[in-house]
Amino acid sequence: MKIRTRFNLALLLVFVPGFVIGIWITHALLVNNAKTDVLANAGLMMETATSVRSYTVDHVSPRLRPLMQAEFLAETVPAFAAVETFARLQKSYPDYSYREATLNPTNLRNRATDWENYHIIRPFRAGTTSGATLEQLVGERVGNDGKRFLYIARPIRITNAACLACHSTPQAAPPALIKTYGDRHGFGWQQNEVVGAQIITVPFELAIQNAQRAVWAVSAVLLGLLASLFLVLNIMLDRVVIAPIRRVSQQSEQISLGNLDIPEFSERGAEEIVQLQSAFNRMRRSIQKAMRVVQPLPARRPLQTASEDA
Ligand code: HEC
C-alpha cells in the first residue's frame, strides 16, 4: 500500500469518528440548552399565573365580594383571573398557552381534554392516592400541525376547605353562582382531591430550529477545518516525504542501470531527507571510485599489459 494511502486511511480513521462524535455532542448540548431556556420561560409563566391568582385572592376578591349579592362576579375567582390574563397574552404570543384543565369544571371552557386528562391529571391523581405527591410534570408534546411544544404542569389540589363553599354541592354554592353557571357541573369536589392541573405550554419548534441551525454552522466550520487539515497534510506529505523519496528511487534506478553521470542531490529539505540524500551521494561516490578501481580505462592500462607485467 502506498504511503499516501496509509497516511490518508489513518487520517480518516481519526477524522470521521471525531467529526461524528463532535457533532453529536454539540447537537445534544445545544438541544439541551434550548430545552432549558424554553422551560425557564415556561416556569416564569407558571409563577406569573400563580401571582395573578394570589393577587386576585388578596386584593380583588375581598373588594368585590360585597357587590356579589345579585350577580356572581367571575372577577373574584383566581382561576378566572389567570385564564383571562393569559388569553390576552396569547393574542400576541399565539403559541403560548395557559390552562386550568379540570375534570369537572364550573366554566366549561376549562374542561380537560382527553390528552390533558390522560397525560397530566391522571398521573397527579394517581400520585395523590399512592401517597407519593407529584408536584410538577414536565414534558414534550407534538401539536396537530406537527410542531413541538414543551409543557409544565402542576396539580390543582383542594387543600383549603373554603373552596368547597362553591365547588361541593349546588345547595352550598351562592345562588348567584348557580344563576350564572348552572348546577350541573363544577360540584362534588373533595378535600385533598386533585381536581385538575395548571398547564403552561410553550413552543419548542423555533428553539429546536435555532439549535439545529447552530449545529449546521458548527458542522460546516469543523468540516472546513478538517478538510483544510487533510489538504495541508497531504501537500506536506507529498513535498516533504514522497517527492524526495521518489527522486532517490529514480536515481537508484539510473545508477543500477550504470548511468553514473546524473547530477548529485542538492541536499535540501527535511533533516531526515537531507541525511538520506547525503548518504546516497556518499554511497554513489564510493561506487564511482570502486568502479574506477575495478574497471580501469582500457586505453591507459589495457588488460594484456597487466598480465604481461605479472
Ligand atoms: C365564591 C365561589 C368560589 C370559591 C370560594 C372558589 N371557586 Fe373556584 N371557581 C368558581 C367559579 C365561579 C369558577 C369559574 C370561573 C370562570 O368563569 O372561569 C371557578 C373556577 C375554578 C377553577 C377552574 C376550573 C373550573 O372549574 O372552571 C379552579 C381550578 C378552581 N375554581 C379552583 C378553586 C380552588 C382551588 C378554590 C379554593 C382555593 C376555589 N376554586 C374557590 C367559584 C369559586
pLDDT digits (tens, 9 = 90+) for 117-141: 999 999 999 977 676 778 999 999 9
* Amino acid occupying residue 307: S
Is 216 inside any structural domain?
no
Kindly state the average pLDDT of the residues 255-268.
Answer: 85
- pLDDT grade, residue 310 (50/70/90)? very low
- Pocket perturbation via mutation, ligand 1, pick of 106, 156, 194 by most ligand atoms within 8 A of CB: 106
Domain count, the chain: 1
Do the bridges between strand 194-203 and strand 148-157 make them parallel or antiparallel, or are there none, so unpaired?
Answer: antiparallel
- Residues 6 or more apart whose Cβ sits within 8 Å of residue 143: 149
In a domain, 164, yes or no: yes
- Note down the domain range covering 91: 28-207
| Domain-embedded: residue 135 | yes
The amino acid occupying position 44 is L
Which atom of ligand 1 is closest in space to residue 76's alpha carbon? 1
State mean pLDDT over 264-277. 89
Total length of the chain: 310
Distance 106 CA to ligand 1 centre (A): 7
Distance CA 162, CA 142 (A): 38
Nearest CA to ligand 1 atom 40: 163
- Range with lowest mean pLDDT among 89-93, 103-107, 198-202, 254-258: 254-258
Residue 176 domain flag: yes
Residue 98 lies in a domain: yes
Cell of 281: 551521494
Q: Is the minimum distance from the CB of 105 to ligand 1 under 6 angstroms?
A: yes
Q: What is the pLDDT of residue 266?
A: 84
pLDDT tier at 105, thresholds 50, 70, 90: very high
CB 150 within 8 A of CB 42: yes
Q: Does residue 163 lie within any of the structural domains? A: yes
With contact defined as beta carbons under 8 Å apart, do 173 and 166 qualify? Answer: yes
Q: Comparing 98-107, 194-203, 281-290, which segment has the lowest mean pLDDT?
A: 281-290
Q: How far is the CA of 116 from the centre of ligand 1 (A)?
A: 19
CATH number, position 41: 3.30.450
Candidate of 156, 163, 177, 181 to mutate for ligand 1, largest count of ligand atoms within 8 Å of Cβ: 163
Percent of the chain with pLDDT over 70: 93
Residue pair 299/272 in contact (Cβ under 8 Å)? The answer is no
CA–CA distances in Å: residue 65 to residues 58, 68, 102, 195, 276: 12, 5, 24, 24, 102
What backbone phi and psi angles, to 5 degrees, belong to 155? -75, 145
Ligand 1 pocket test, pick from 166, 180, 195 with the greatest ligand atom count within 8 Å of Cβ, gives 166
Q: What is the pLDDT of residues 50-60, one digit of tens each?
A: 999 999 999 99
Whole-angstrom distance, CA of residue 134 vs CA of residue 139: 14
In a domain, 146, yes or no: yes
- Do the domain assignments include residue 264? no
